[in-house]
Each structure stands twice: as C-alpha cells, then as structure tokens.
Structure 1
Amino acid sequence: MPAAIEKMVYAGDTPWHGLGTAIPRNGTWEEVRHAAGFYDVVEAQLSLPDGRIIPDRKALCRGDDGRYLSTVGSDYCPLQFEALARAGIIAAHNVEAIWHTAGTLGPAGVRGWMLAELPGVIRVRHDRTEIRKYVLLTTAHDGLSAAILANVATRVVCRNTLGAALKERGGSRWTIRHTANAEKRLEEAGRAFAYMTAEMADFEQLCNVLVGERYSEAQHLADIDAIIPLPNDEKPHPKLKKARERVAALFDTFQGVTPELRGTAYGAFQAWTEYLRDKHLVDAAPENPRTLRRAMASTVGEGANTASTALGRIITQTRIYMRPPAVPVAA
C-alpha cells in the first residue's frame, strides 16, 4: 500500500491517500484495534542449524498470524499496543472513545500509532472556532524504536505525517524504551499528561479575559520587534522582514476576526497563532476544517515556544495578573 500503511482507521476527513476504514466518531480501543491492524507481540526462541538455542537473542512475531517482526536481545520486553492505549485513556481522564486515527505501518505492521483527541473543547466568547487537544502514542517492534507519548499538531494518517509529528519541537514528550518497567513508566506518563491537560481550563479562562482587553497596533508592533527582531547590520534579511510583515498584517485580518475580537489582546494572540500555524503546521489532509485546527500549531509542537513568548508579552502589556496557563500542552 502507498504511505507504508498496513491498516488504519480514521474519524473525520478522509486521508489524502484514501485508505483505511472510516468510523463515524472517535472510537474506543475495542472498536479500532482490529481495523487498525493492532496485534499482540509474541516471543520465539532462536536456534542454530544444529539445534542449539541462542541464549542472548530472540525473535518477535505477530501473535495473530505469526509474521516475523524483528530479532532483539534477550532483555528486550515488548510494549504491547494495548499498553499504549491504556496510557492514552489515562491521559484522557479515563474517557475511552478518544481514538481519532490509528494504524500500523511498514513490513508486517511493525510500527503502530494512535492519535487521541482528548475530551474537553476550549471555547472563547465571540470566537466561533474551537480549540481541541491531541496526544500521539506510537511504538515499533523493530528492536530499535522506543515508545513515545507526545502532544502534536500534525494529524497522523501515514508514515510521512507520523515522521512530521515526531519532528515537532516545543511540546511535551515522553520516550520509553522496551524494558521490564516500561508499562509502569508509560502509565506514569499518561497521568502526567492528564494533569497537564487539566490546566487547559486556565488557558480558556485567560483567553476569555483577553477578549475584554483592548490592544493597540503599536503594542502589537512592539511585540514583533521583541520576538522577531531585525539584526542591526547591513544585510537585507528578507525572510525576517517577510515574517514581521505577515504577523503585523494579521493583527486585524486573522482568520475568524469579528468586530468584537478586532483590536483586543485575544486578537493580537490570534495573529501570532495564525502566523505560527501557517509556518509550522503539517497535515496531509487539506480538507481539515479550521475548527479542528485553530491555534493548534501555536500551542503544541514547534510553535509552542514562540506562542508562549508572545502570550507572556501580551499579558505583561495588558497587566493581567493570573497564574500562567499551560499553553504548550495542546489545542
């Protein structure tokens, strides 16, 4: 199959490659596990031609059809896909119907991923869009790859988008190798992620406060000078100038702007989120509705650090004194 897909499921827009099984809504583990190609990993002894057992190596195979996956050391303890799913459910505060896309990739489906949409949508007054929270869980039984739990901005639907998601910087990530205590560490990572996403309520509260705060174009330009400064030299710096001009233009033209949002601190923040979304967001499904993507690139992945800096400056300039929200968690 193209895109290295063995099997997959998806909710929402059809992936660019047109493959996989569509589900009407986000599914539970039991609803997606077989359609996505997940399996249990079993171990098998290796032997020499004369029948002697190789003591320090073993083979990994699929438990459903016996296909060979890899050869690993004797101390390798495979993390099952079901263990990944449990960590995702913990991150979702024990809500089970969270799986937005999921699938297996490569020869024999050696690698798998699950993209969870966590419960709770952030809504801001006068803004018709929604901010949603996502977490990616992935591992491979190739003897080399660790399990990863991370918040991402990329909608994973194939090998390329999985790679793009794993290259994102600035978000929260846990990497867990296939060892004896891996399942315990994975569950701990899920609990930590659940705690972080709970703080998104602070972010929602802050956004609604920012809607009521006026913010001038002069203040916005001062933020640009601080965040995207032009070096004091004689070089032209066309990329920097283009970036500065883009953020400046978005001050009152950002997507979804309304009279109530124009000229507010929230509107200034949306200018940054739209700039960062255009700059960093990678998604191979072009029809994704903006209501599922609003501000995502600014609050997870590569744009998180810049967004946090911009938000910090806006809070300072408006003199809003609140406990800083967990902006880099997800959106």
Structure 2
Amino acid sequence: MAHNLNFNEHTGNYSFFSVQQKAWHNLGQIVSEYPTSTEAIRFAGLDYDVLKKPVFINGIDNVIGADGVLIEGGDLPVPNRFGTYRSDTNEAFDVVGKDYHIVQNRDAFAFFDAIVGGGEGILYETAGALGRGERIFITAKLPGYIRVGDGDDVTEKYIFLTTSHDGSGSITAAFTPIRIVCQNTLNAALGKMSNVVRIKHTANAKQRLLDAHRVMGLADMMSAQMEGIFNEWSKIRITDSEVKKLIQLALCPNKETFDFLKKGDEDALSTIFKNTVEDAFSYAMMSDTQLMETTKGTLFGAYNAVTGYYQNVRKYKDDEAKLQSIVMGGTAQGKAQKAFDLCRAFEKEGNNILQLN
C-alpha cells in the first residue's frame, strides 16, 4: 500500500512520527512517550513555515495591453495570484488567490492544545506531511473512553485533523472514536450533530481554528450518547439472517440494487455487491472481535460488521484512500452512517425495517 509521506531531502528524514508502535509503512520516527505539541511538530518534520509570494510570468516580450499602453518585457505579475512554498526547502506547493490565508502547522497543533486547555490530557499519537509537505495530518487521543458492556469492549476517543497549504481543501477536524479490540472507526452522526468541523482558508481562518475546539466540545456529548446507544444495542438480540439483511441494506449502492432486494431477486444482484455482502457477513460471523459478549448475536455486533468490514477487510489502493473513505466523509463513513440509522430503526421497530416485500 502506498504511503505518499513527504521525504525531506534537507534532513534525510520522512515527515512522520508515531508513538510506541511502528506504522504499517515502517517509516518516520517512533517515540516512546507521548510528546508535547512542540516536540510533535519537530518529530513529524512539520517545523517549517509556509510562505507566499506574488506569481510572475517570466521573460515576456513587449506587448500592448488592453488599454493600448505598452507593457515592457520582463517579469509580468499575475494579478491576485500567489504561490505558496515551504520555508526550509523552498519547495513550491501551488498557486492560490489573494484571499487565501495560510494556517501554519503550529496553528493546527494550537487547535488541539486549546481543546482541553494547554494540552493537559491531550495525547499526540501520530502526525506527518504528505507529498511535498503541502498536506499535513495529526491524530490525538482525548481523555476518557466509551465502554460497552461489563468487559473489555472499550472505544478510545480521537480527534483527527488535516489541512493543506496548496488551496486544495479546507481545514478539517473530525471526532473519531476507535474500538480498541479491532481498530474499528465507529463514526456516526447523532441527529443534527456532525463529527466533522470544516474551516475555510479565509482571512479569519486562524481565529476560526482556535475557536473550533468549542464545536469539538460536541465530542464529549457524542461520546456519552454513543456509549448509551452502544450499550443498549449490546443487549438487543438479532438473528444471523437479520444481520445479513441489515448488511445488504447498509451496503446497497443504488436504487436498482434496492429494487432487486425488495423483489427478493438475488440472482439479479451484481457479483461485486454479493461478494461485498458475503465478505462483511463472514466478518460478522467469524471475526474474534465479533464473538465477544457485546457483539455475538447483538445489534451492536451487526453495526460493527459494517464498520469492521471497511476498516479491516476491504482493500484500498493506498492509505490516503482508506483515510478518505473512513474518516473524511467517503464511502465507508456513508455506509457506516446508513448502518447506524438502520440499527436505530431496528432498536425501535424490530425486524419490520428489514421486511422489504
């Protein structure tokens, strides 16, 4: 699986750090203790500023402008366009508009420190840069857990942040609970509460970034609600056939497939869809993490069948694609949300929501 981590030829290091455990790509710096934000920036190779300069067209000939005035040859400035680049290597990122505001890497870490007050309790776990350093990412563990049942089924609470320096996207911070036993990301929107905050690179982006921790305070509220919901689901029984039907509905890609399911015409279903359902169902039935007291034959286990399939079974072309799919609002997150909504409906109405005929 490709990594696209930035390799800084100036230092001879990859721009990535992880606490205690090596990442799958075995690159970057592994540290034994959770670092401060200042240390994390250095370990991840993010201790550079991003600058911007006006864009010029070089070496043009004398031309007559639209107003009939002679423009002498040489370097001609491009109106309202600026190039972004990093201060340590002078590598160029891309061209941005006049209203684009740079959010420095240290500002992104300041966002995390502000969440729990001066960094107390925040644990920086990974951080790094991609490409030429134009995109950075940070994951940090929040205090506390989501506990399901009386045993060891524990979910840790993370916040993930990514931002770019090339004008390609907004600053995005996402609350990402991860079930420890199988590393499932259990993202779900609860009503009108979203687990994602997006901030544009406008003139007040830095201030909005510093203020975003107020919105991310929803993480605590979401954690409490999710803990209550998951504990309730761990007590609701569901048959194997109902699990498979729920998986089919959650993974259904389009109306045509839904109509085939409604008619009971499984022979008309695409091979890709049937294989996907079988892989998710096999995970639901055979994975060790699906045979726990909280998951075996329970509605919580049915939900985990979908999230676990995307996290632990499905293949992705690279790590960025997996990240986009699971955390950043891609296919996996959408399907997990569908599974969550189906489980909420099953909780209230029973298997009536699975009867399509």
In 1: Cα distance, 2:86 partner to 2:272 partner = 49
Q: Structure 2 residue aligned with 1:41, among 45, 50, 61? A: 50
Task: Write the deviation string for residues 16-40 of structure 1: whole angstroms up to 9, x where unpaired.
Answer: 4432221224322111112222223
Cα displacement (A) at 1:181: 1.0
CA deviations on 1:121-168 (whole Å, 9 max, x unpaired) are 2222255343233333233333x3344214387x9xxxxxxxxxxxx9
**Which residue number corresponds to residue 204 of structure 1?**
227
Q: Cα deviation per residue 1:207-261 (whole Å; 9 max; x = unaligned)?
A: 1222223223343344245444472566352222223334444444343213564
In structure 1, the residue matched to 2:112 is 88
Distance 2:204 2:226 in 1: 34
> Equivalent residue for 2:334?
305
Equivalent residues of 2:153, 2:294 under 8 A apart: no
Distance 1:52 1:249 in 2: 64
* Residue deviations 1:90-116 (CA, integer Å, cap 9, x gap): 456764543222123444x34432222
- Confirm whether residue 101 of structure 1 aligns to residue 126 of structure 2: yes
2:143: which partner in 1?
Answer: 119
State the alpha-carbon separation in 2 of the partners of residues 261 and 75 from structure 1. 50
Q: Residue 215 of structure 1 contacts residue 318 of structure 1 at CA under 8 Å; is this kept in 2?
A: no
With normalisation by structure 1, the TM-score equals 0.69
Offset at residue 14 of structure 1 (A): 1.6
**Gaps (5+ residues) in structure 2?**
9-14, 60-72, 179-186, 253-257, 320-324, 351-357
The residue that corresponds to 1:239 in the other structure is: 272
Q: Distance in 1 between matches of 2:34 and 2:123?
A: 5
Residues 211, 32 of structure 1: CA spacing in aligned structure 2 closer, same or farther, 3 A cutoff?
Answer: same
Aligned-partner residue type, residue 275 of structure 2: K
Paired with 2:294 and 2:188, the residues of 1 have a C-alpha distance of 33
Going by fraction, where is strand more abundant, 1 or 2?
2
Bigger RCO of structures 1 and 2 (CA < 8 A, at least 6 apart): 1
> Which residue of the partner structure matches residue 131 of structure 1?
155
TM-score, normalising length: structure 2:
0.65
Letter in 2 for 1:277: Q
Question: Which runs of no fewer than 5 residues in structure 1 stay unpaired?
Answer: 156-167, 286-295, 322-331
1:220 matched residue in structure 2: 243
Show the 5 A alignment for 1:1-331: 3-6=5-8, 7-38=15-46, 39-42=48-51, 56=80, 60=84, 62-63=86-87, 65=88, 67=90, 69=92, 73-91=97-115, 95=119, 97-107=122-132, 109-125=133-149, 128-142=152-166, 144-151=167-174, 172-224=195-247, 226-227=249-250, 228=252, 229=258, 231=260, 232=263, 235=268, 237-256=270-289, 257-258=291-292, 261-278=295-312, 297=326, 302-319=331-348
| Residues 84/272 of structure 1: CA separation in 2 closer, same or farther (3 Å cut) | same
Aligned partner letter, 2:161? L
Equivalence for 2:64 = none
| Structure 1 residues 45 and 264: CA distance shift in structure 2, 3 A | closer
Work out whether residues 169 and 302 of structure 1, in 8 Å CA contact, stay in contact via their aligned partners in 2: no
Give the SS at the match of 2:148: coil
1:203 Cα shift? 0.7
Separation in 2, partners of 1:190, 1:302: 27
SS in 2 for 1:130: strand
Cα displacement (A) at 1:85: 1.4
4+ long deviations beyond 6 Å: 45-53, 168-171
Distance 1:212 1:81, change over 3 A: same
Whole-Å separation in 2 of the counterparts to 1:73 and 1:299: 25
Aligned residues: 296
The answer to whether the 8 A contact 2:195-2:219 is kept is no
Q: CA deviation at 1:206?
A: 1.7
Contact (CA 8 Å) 1:90, 1:191: kept in 2 or not?
Answer: no
Q: Which amino acid aligns with 2:208?
A: R
The separation in 2 between residues aligned to 1:300 and 1:120, in whole angstroms, is 25
Tell me how far apart the structure 2 counterparts of residues 259 and 136 of structure 1 sit (CA, whole Å): 30
Q: Secondary structure at the match of 1:313?
A: helix
**Which amino acid letter does the alignment assign opposite residue 131 of structure 1?**
T
Residues 273-312 of structure 1, C-alpha deviations (whole Å, 9 max, x = no match): 3233345575979xxxxxxxxxx95997533333333333
